[in-house]
Structure 1
Amino acid sequence: MTGAQPAALATENLSRVYPSGEGEITALSPFTHTFAPGLTAVVGPSGSGKSTLLNLLAGFDTPSGGRVRVGDTDLHALSETGRADFRLANYGFVFQNHNLVSILSAQENVEFPLLLAGVPARERRDRARTLLDDVGLLARAGHLPHQLSGGEAQRVAIARALARDPAVLLADEPTGNLDTRTGQKVLELLTGPARQGRTVVLITHDRDVAALADHRLEVRDGVVSRGEH
């Protein structure tokens, strides 16, 4: 199937401030950046603002100021429904806890975003099986999530994230719950779309993981800076 074409992901003076009992908390200071094609690691300690940035890039949260652009689209100018439709067509997501649907098989999980997009059944099946083969899990296509190891479930989640060949792939601590060897395999799978010119943003607290990325951003106390590479 033909997916979304590579598109620039950019922020313009993007910020997020939350009210608190003592006034305001700045979770993300104004941040302007164009994410280059390839793998960008966003690294920083817990509570630094990494997740806030990811939620804003995805359109899950609303900025206090500024904007997120994917190609020519201003993400936060869209309605809530419009953002959801745009995410389905242009984004792929990989979470720390894989977030597979427990009652669906591995193949059905990969097919799910294609089902939502109205892709015909045979095309869904063929695409899902190709992706499961790519991540080395075609033999596990009929297994439910609880029948998979943590690493296998995360690989299914990556296959699902790639189902619609997204322009932007966001990964939130995808190796956080895995041992080093399994985490390395998962990381290698994320570099594939990056090498194909997609924009992959990887949130991590692990500097060893971040060191393998093409580009790196550092987040500390809500301030984003370009990390050394």
Structure 2
Amino acid sequence: MIALPSPAVSVLAALDLSRVYPSGEGTVTALAPFTHAFPPGLTAVVGPSGSGKSTLLGLLAGFDTPTTGRVIVDGTDLHALSEAARADFRLANYGFVFQNHNLVTILTALENVEFPLALAGVPPRERRERARALLGEVGLGSRAGHLPSQLSGGEAQRVAVARALARDPRVILADEPTGNLDSRTGERVLDLLLASARAGRTVVLITHDRDVAALADHTLRVRDGVVTPQG
């Protein structure tokens, strides 16, 4: 068991973390007990489909409940919080980017980026200025008034990155964010995540793409629920 990392070194740690599911008369180990301090920068999580990558990400996010262990985020035991408190904590400390951008279809690009700020009670003028600035940073200032259906896949994914950055999170979790994009568009999205990592955030990225994984600062390999640090 590792000691809790200093927040200056790492804000995210998994301590003896595991997930076991009942299956018929037995159980299935989706994630074997795993201890790891995630350093600032980009950590790629690689492995075949069904290996346990998404289970790991769900536990790190607090979407799923571990069978054993804890997730420590900036000194807070994520799974010791109530469901409501955990949701509030996620909103303040996490950003999420999914393979399918998960934008709210009835909101414009600007309103989608504003959304987590509105949930946090940020005043309308302040959140509008913040959202416009973020869309500018991802190269979509001119698309602020467009609905997701009026954006290309790559544009929508860049809006999703802007939304993930809205509250300046310490941790960004990304699940195959370039999986549905052509290589050139995927590179633009990856560049945004790399820039976030270089700014000192902890970015955990699930990917099947070896070229994407090669750009990461750190790599975890998952196979049959066993997580192994690489390099």
TM range, smaller chain: over 0.9
Question: 1:103: which partner in 2?
Answer: 106
Work out the CA distance in 2 between the residues paired with 1:52 and 1:135: 29
Matched, 1:90 2:104: no
- Which of 200, 205, 214 is equivalent to 2:203? 200
Matched, 1:189 2:192: yes
RMSD: 1.1
- Which of 52, 56, 59 is equivalent to 1:56? 59
Pair 1:7–1:86, CA change in 2 (3 A): farther
Q: What is the DSSP-based 3-state SS (H/G/I as helix, E as strand, rest coil) of the residue aligned with 1:99? A: coil
Runs (5+) with no aligned partner, structure 2: 1-7
Higher relative contact order, structure no. (Cα contacts within 8 Å, ≥ 6 residues apart): 1
Letter in 1 for 2:84: T
Q: What is the DSSP-based 3-state SS (H/G/I as helix, E as strand, rest coil) of the residue aligned with 1:114? A: helix
- Which of 84, 103, 115 is equivalent to 1:112? 115
Q: Is the 8 A contact 2:10 2:38 kept in 1?
A: no
Q: Report the alpha carbon displacement of residue 6 of structure 1 after superposing the two structures with TM.
A: 8.5
Question: 2:167: which partner in 1?
Answer: 164
Question: 2:177: which partner in 1?
Answer: 174
- Which of 38, 42, 54 is equivalent to 2:41? 38
Work out the CA distance in 1 between the residues paired with 2:202 and 2:19: 23
Question: 2:215: which partner in 1?
Answer: 212
Work out the CA distance in 2 between the residues paired with 1:37 and 1:102: 33
Q: Report the alpha carbon displacement of residue 22 of structure 1 after superposing the two structures with TM.
A: 3.7
Q: Is the 8 A contact 2:59 2:65 kept in 1?
A: yes
Q: What is the DSSP-based 3-state SS (H/G/I as helix, E as strand, rest coil) of the residue aligned with 1:85? A: helix
Work out the CA distance in 2 between the residues paired with 1:70 and 1:38: 15
Work out the CA distance in 2 between the residues paired with 1:115 and 1:175: 27
Question: 1:154: which partner in 2?
Answer: 157
Question: 1:130: which partner in 2?
Answer: 133
Give the TM-score, by structure 2 length: 0.95
Q: What is the percent sequence identity of the aligned residues? A: 78
Letter in 2 for 1:145: P
Q: What is the DSSP-based 3-state SS (H/G/I as helix, E as strand, rest coil) of the residue aligned with 2:66? A: coil
Q: Report the alpha carbon displacement of residue 72 of structure 1 after superposing the two structures with TM.
A: 1.0
Give the TM-score, by structure 1 length: 0.96
Work out the CA distance in 2 between the residues paired with 1:6 and 1:176: 30
Letter in 1 for 2:118: L
